[in-house]
Amino acid sequence: MRRFTVSGGVAVLTGAAGGIGAALAHGLARRGAALVLLDRDASGLAAVAAALRAAYPGQQVWTHQVDLADVEATAALADRIVERHPRIRLLVNNAGVALGGRFDEVTLAEFSWVVDVNFRAVVQLTHALLPALRAEPGAHLVTISSLFGLFAPPGQVAYAASKFAVRGFTEALRHELATEGIGVTCVHPGGIRTRIARDARVGSGVDRVEYEAGLQRFERLLTIDPAVAAETILRGVARRRGRVLIGWSTRLLDLLARVAPAGHGRLLAAVVNRGAVRGPTAGRSRTPV
């Protein structure tokens, strides 16, 4: 498969109002893409679009405010996107939400909300936009999984389940689309300095004081600039890489999960308990990566 280039093509990007999404939007604009940006945060999305239009006046930018937890709204928007853009060069499923709490501390409604945004919306948009990707020679699909799509800690059942689902979906789809010349990349970020942990919902049964204390400690580990993460992703996509791992913690845990698939949790717990790695609460992580 030849090297990917987005210049002159249309790129659809979800979760574009901040963090990695906003950084990806700027990186794609620099590379000459016309942008279709989606987010539920209308004001944040407008600010990103204004900055892009000021910095890259020659590039087209369309914005759409949508809550991806809403199945019908997502379907209607996907139809409008395909109608306006029958050929799409790149789809980046970046939007994601988080929920802090062990399985018995969250409701099924809270659990389902995470799965809806992080997984169902990825499947729904990919299914709806796939004909437009197929219509564009050399197209590419990107999904954003997580460090917790490689390793599933306690306190992150909903988030890890959704991100493992994204990983499996993406890996199977990569094999299905390879013969059509469509590249597929699954990204596993870790330690990125975004607001996903701060903006996470907290399970109804979670002790808020304990959660907040753990969150403050955890946020000290978020050291990677979103712009650095975005460039790593875009370089990986240009090379048609099937997987992109971001951050030393992601690479370490990926190795542990492969070397000791059933026992890596105990290995990590031993490290945490010795103080080599400071998590939110030893053995009770409630914050997403």
- So which residues are the catalytic ones? 159
Alpha carbons 239 and 137: distance in angstroms, whole number: 16
HSE at residue 217, side-chain half, CA atoms within 13 A, is 15
Contact 31, 234 (CB under 8 A): yes
Alpha carbons 205 and 121: distance in angstroms, whole number: 26
For CA atoms 44, 29, 195, 119, the dihedral sign is: positive
Tokens of 258: 């492969």
Rg of the Cα atoms in the chain = 19
Q: Among 170, 195, 213, 257, which Cα is nearest to 41's? A: 195
Contact 15, 9 (CB under 8 A): no
Alpha carbons 163 and 146: distance in angstroms, whole number: 6
